[in-house]
């Protein structure tokens, strides 16, 4: 919508420098309405010095309406391959140790706790072989194949050559098996029951376990016979006792299954 328009002055028209407009020139104004516009030609009148000319502004029947424009900000995720493809690394205490590698982790952790960061492969094979049953549970027949599986699982690292070849536990597995303080008088009992578990015997007959105890273990515990020793181990939370099919059995408490000495 444009403002009022004036007729251009001609050379014959008088001109007032004060008003900056022709003194006797007619001018054209427009009046606007909602239905259209009409041009009015104003005849010459007493335009002179000091005269005032009032020009009416267009009158609207209604106020103009402003349309609100909404803008939306779209956040485009950054394609960061390093973060999208990376998998969170679980802590060692959250890791599940495959049953056939428990003895491996247990042995290497015990060696580490005693100051041995790297274990010679020849020594480790003697610690975990268990007459070959350890390898059979892993589905292999040789120590080397067993270690290769452990490497694939990210449990161990290998190094060295020939007689100096070594194995060490990877950092993520340092504390995979919590070390628990066991009363010294029950260490022998716990080790014996752990050995049975490695053979798949979780509730050995009590007499079988008793036959493996040394003579001085009862005295160390302050008792004189097996039954008293076993009862004391129950009260200390080391073992559980029970009877199945007429057989008196003894079982290692779950919190000591993977105890390291």
Per residue in 161-175, pLDDT (tens digit) is 988 999 999 998 887
Outline where 165-260 has alpha helix (H).
187-198, 206-210, 216-221, 226-235
Question: Which pLDDT tens digit goes with each residue over 106-123?
Answer: 889 888 877 889 999 998
Q: Tell me the C-alpha distance between 236 and 252, whole Å.
A: 12
Question: Which pLDDT tens digit goes with each residue over 134-150?
Answer: 888 889 999 999 999 99
Token pair 């290769």 is at which residue? 148
Q: Determine if the pTM surpasses 0.85.
A: no
Show Cβ contacts of residue 226 under 8 Å, excluding neighbours closer than 6 positions: 206, 210, 213, 218
What is the set of domains in the chain, with CATH numbers? 1-60 (no CATH), 96-173 (1.10.10.10), 184-256 (1.10.10.10)
The confidence score (pLDDT) of residue 95 equals 64
The confidence score (pLDDT) of residue 229 equals 96
Show Cβ contacts of residue 261 under 8 Å, excluding neighbours closer than 6 positions: 110, 182, 187, 191
The confidence score (pLDDT) of residue 112 equals 84
């Amino acid at each position: 919508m444009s403002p009022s328009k004036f007729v251009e002055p001609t050379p014959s028209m008088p001109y007032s420098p004060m008003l900056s407009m022709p003194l006797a020139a007619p001018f054209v104004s427009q009046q606007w309405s909602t239905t259209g516009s009409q041009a009015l030609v104003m005849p010459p009148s007493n335009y002179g010095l000091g005269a005032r000319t009032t020009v009416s502004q267009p009158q609207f029947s209604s106020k103009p309406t402003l349309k609100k424009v909404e803008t939306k900000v779209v956040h485009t995720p950054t394609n960061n391959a390093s973060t999208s493809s990376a998998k969170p690394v679980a802590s060692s205490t959250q890791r599940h140790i495959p049953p056939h590698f428990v003895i491996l982790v247990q042995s290497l952790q015990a060696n580490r706790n005693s100051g041995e960061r790297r274990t010679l492969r020849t020594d480790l094979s003697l610690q975990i072989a268990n007459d070959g049953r350890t390898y059979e549970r892993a589905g292999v027949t040789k120590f080397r194949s067993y270690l290769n599986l452990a490497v694939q699982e990210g449990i161990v690292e290998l190094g060295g050559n020939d007689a100096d070849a070594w194995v060490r536990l990877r950092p993520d597995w340092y504390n995979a098996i919590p070390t628990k303080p066991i009363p010294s008088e029950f260490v022998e009992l716990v080790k014996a029951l752990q050995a049975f578990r490695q053979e798949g015997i979780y509730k050995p007959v009590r007499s079988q376990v008793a036959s493996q105890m040394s003579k001085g273990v009862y005295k160390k515990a302050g008792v004189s016979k097996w039954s008293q020793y076993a009862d004391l181990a129950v009260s200390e939370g080391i073992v559980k006792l029970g009877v199945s099919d007429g057989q008196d059995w003894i079982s290692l408490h779950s919190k000591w299954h993977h105890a390291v000495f």
